[in-house]
Amino acid sequence: MRPPSNETTTPTITETETESAKGLKATVDVAVGGGSFKIDSSDDALHSNNSVTITGGEFTIASGDDGVHGDKAVQTKGGKINITKSYEGIESKVISIADGEIDVTASDDGINVGCGNDGSGMDFQSTETQDNLLSISGGSVTVNAAGDGLDSNGSIQMTAGTVLVNGPTNNGNGSLDYDQSFEMTGGFLIAAGSAGMLQATSEQSTQNAIVMTYPDTQAAGTLLHVEDSDGNTVATFAPEKDYQAVFISSPILEKDKDYTLYSGGTSTGKEANGLYRDGDYKDGTKVVEFTISDSVTWLNESGVTTGSSGGPGGGGMRGGGQRPDRGQAPPNGEMPDGSQTPPTTEQSQ
């Protein structure tokens, strides 16, 4: 009988390399503070199984999936990010935009807050959404999305910055989409798109907003202009795509103050991403006069009205952005002062 051997057996480990279609990726964290990057990938261009933090650098991204994806968090604190092609532009459980210049083009959602691993937006319909958050506290963001523009399967908070959304033309998605709340206390936001899944900011927002729903679709590039009774401009914007509804929130929209919304016309202001700054606006057609009556004032061509009924969409049921019952028009059909139906042929001078 052979005696027991004193030799030990070492297990053999075989390493297998697998190809990845992602661009810049990490299993833990991706942190970029500078440099110039041009990424063309069939999967996520920037991907982390944990978090992505960008404090500087310039990115030009074309992706077959997400432009920037972090399973747990994406933070931007500077830099320039130009996503020219993507399925979803930026996607994570928590997205924080504090600074930087971001331009997103997406065939689905522009900026999407979900709650898990990368699944091209399909695995994010979880009921555990209380921690899902899109926070915007600075920087400039421009979105062109065929799906939802800003989409949070949770909440949205905005305290500063400039956001321009060219949303969907189909009524199955919305320029703004959230499940829980959208609290806006500062910054400037315009979101133009279809009217079928329309949402606005929540009642707890301290910054006023208006939502205009047009009777007919407005052609891409048609200027919309809002000014106060003294002729001071609130916003002049030319959406990139056809639109039937527009949401505008600005620090200079004041409660109980009168405003007028115009369509068409021209502006001599300096244009960037469809937004005109300074300059003069003229030759527009007056659409409606109105008075800011609440944190969100809902409008149609006849004046102040009730809010959108909302409904299910790409991010689930629409949440707290609908106008409450107490905001319905008076039963006698009369509009409050400052909201009378104006002549549609009067021109802005």
Q: Is residue 119 part of a domain?
A: no
More confident residue, 19 or 183: 183
Q: How many residues does the chain have?
A: 349
Name which of 18-27, 53-62, 75-84, 112-121 the model is least confident about.
112-121
Q: What is the pLDDT of residue 7?
A: 53
More confident residue, 13 or 90: 90
Q: What is the pLDDT of residue 123?
A: 43
Q: How far is CA 72 from CA 32, 115, 124, 251, in A?
A: 17, 8, 13, 32
Q: Is residue 115 part of a domain?
A: no
Q: What is the pLDDT of residue 306?
A: 78
Q: Is residue 343 part of a domain?
A: no
Q: Is the pLDDT of residue 100 over 70?
A: yes
**Which band of pLDDT confidence, cut at 50, 70 and 90, is reported for residue 21?**
confident
Q: Is residue 268 part of a domain?
A: yes
Per DSSP, the residues of 7-71 read: PPPPPP----------SEEESSEEEEEEEEEEEEESS-SEEESSEEEEEEEEEEEEESSEEEEEE
**Which band of pLDDT confidence, cut at 50, 70 and 90, is reported for residue 215?**
very high
Q: What is the pLDDT of residue 19?
A: 57
Q: What is the pLDDT of residue 315?
A: 36
Count: domains in the chain: 1
For residue 172, which of 197, 138, 200 has the smallest C-alpha distance?
197
When pLDDT is averaged across residues 268-288 and rounded to a whole number, the result is 97
Q: Is residue 2 part of a domain?
A: no
Query: What percent of the chain lies above the pLDDT cut of 90?
Result: 75
Q: Is the pLDDT of residue 51 over 50?
A: yes
When pLDDT is averaged across residues 46-70 and rounded to a whole number, the result is 98
Name which of 103-107, 155-159, 314-318 the model is least confident about.
314-318
For the chain, what is the mean pLDDT?
A: 85
Q: Phi and psi for 147 in degrees, rounded to 5? A: -95, -140
Contact 96, 119 (CB under 8 A): no
When pLDDT is averaged across residues 34-46 and rounded to a whole number, the result is 97
Q: Is the pLDDT of residue 289 over 50?
A: yes
For residue 165, which of 136, 190, 194, 134 has the smallest C-alpha distance?
190
At 298-349, the pLDDT tens digits run 999 999 997 753 333 333 334 444 433 323 333 333 333 333 333 333 344 4
At 121-154, the pLDDT tens digits run 444 444 466 799 999 999 999 999 999 999 999 9
| pTM greater than the 0.85 cutoff | no
Q: Is 147 helix (H, G, I), strand (E, B) or coil?
A: coil
Q: Is residue 30 part of a domain?
A: no
Contact 61, 46 (CB under 8 A): yes
Q: Is the pLDDT of residue 164 over 80?
A: yes
Q: Is residue 152 part of a domain?
A: yes
Q: Is the pLDDT of residue 46 over 50?
A: yes
Q: Is residue 17 part of a domain?
A: no
Domain hosting 254: range is: 125-327
Q: What is the pLDDT of residue 62?
A: 98
